[in-house]
Structure 1
Amino acid sequence: MACRISELVLDAADPERLAAFWSQVLGYVELGREDDGSIEIGPPDAGFGGPQPTLILSPSSDPRTGKLPLHIDVNATDRDQDAELERLLALGAKPADVGQTGTESWHVLADPEGNVFCLLRRRLQPL
């Protein structure tokens, strides 16, 4: 028997803003809200427990110091990497420098709150 990743929880100064951003990036929809202000987003046809993990944006006022020890990698499903990069930048992602050399096959970006994620080159089939 093994475990599966069911949810990823991301602290957010503005959960509403990050939920909107990541919903557009991933094609997710809002699945629910908690009394503490947390917002869960996930695949529209599967929700929690489906083949993809859901994302919970949890309100936090704790200051972040330095690079997070975990980041998200994304792959385009319906366009090439350059077109997806343009789309992500238009949604509010910003280029980020984490010490890359410039010869990588991926792009390092940050979401509207500065959480680093990577856009990989390889196109994946949609689920």
Structure 2
Amino acid sequence: MTWSQRMNWAIEYIESNLDSDLTIEEIAKVACCSKYHFHRMFFATFKVTCTDKFGYKSPNAFTRAYRDIHGINPSNARIEGNSLSSYKRVCPPEDNKAGECMNYKIIKVPEFNLIGKSKNFEFKSLLKAYSTK
């Protein structure tokens, strides 16, 4: 298992659980490493700490972090023409461009129909999948 895979598991776990109280210990466990090594590798990969991406104790803390990353307040993010930053997924070492900033904009598009199929997953089966990778 590579560090790229571990970081991807951690990011997927964070994104899947943004509505709950996450801890570095939990995320490190998903990445199959200690809290200490996870923190070091996450920073080395993305040039931000893991807590810069989640875990804000107040709306003011979130607004400060958002402004540091994007250069604007969250309330201005939907104003047409404002640019935001994002990070690419972690790639295998031979094509590792993780941590490079990708600028993007929120734009208005005409209404359209979207067709899809939903599927429910149980959290326990996802956790088992993470631990066996």
The TM-score, its normalising length taken from structure 1, stands at 0.21
- Which of the two has greater helix per residue? 2
What TM-score, normalized to structure 2?
A: 0.21
Rg bigger for which structure?
2
Higher RCO (CA 8 Å, separation ≥ 6 residues): 1
